[in-house]
Amino acid sequence: MKQVIYAGGTFLTGDAIAEALLRYAEELANHGRAASITVPAVGSEGEIEVQVLVGPASQLMAETAESGAPSGREPDGAAFVEDIRRRIDAQRNKWVRQDDMSSGDWDI
């Protein structure tokens, strides 16, 4: 489990979820973009969702939680992680297109 610290608050989530969130925030920041996403997390009653705005000014940190989830289970993050991977790939593909690079003369 990871405790994510964001905007003065914290929430618990799975290791893979926290890693994906940080990578996506980094990718968005690299391109000067922002996005609002829903992150699976764990609350006192079980699985919850946390709405997070990530972008160039985001200050996110994830650390190993001292204690596990109150329910004893990490949230199911497989769909979230896959969605974040697709979003990262889409961001990268927006900025570099091989066909744009090969046309015309370049004077460098």
Token representation of residue 5: 């610290």
| pTM assigned to the model | 0.80
Percent pLDDT > 70 in the chain is: 81
* pLDDT exceeds 90 at position 100: no
Cα 48 from Cα 27, distance rounded (Å):
25
| Predicted pLDDT of residue 55 | 86
Cα 6 from Cα 9, distance rounded (Å):
5
Give which of 75, 98, 92, 82 is closest to 28, Cα–Cα.
92
Evaluate whether 18 touches 37 at the Cβ level (below 8 Å). Answer: no
Percent pLDDT > 90 in the chain is: 54
Mean pLDDT (the chain, rounded):
85
Express each pLDDT in 32-71 by its tens digit: 999 999 999 998 888 999 999 998 888 899 999 987 666 6
Give the residue extent of every domain in the chain: 2-95
More confident residue, 74 or 100: 74
* pLDDT exceeds 80 at position 106: no
Cα 20 from Cα 29, distance rounded (Å):
14
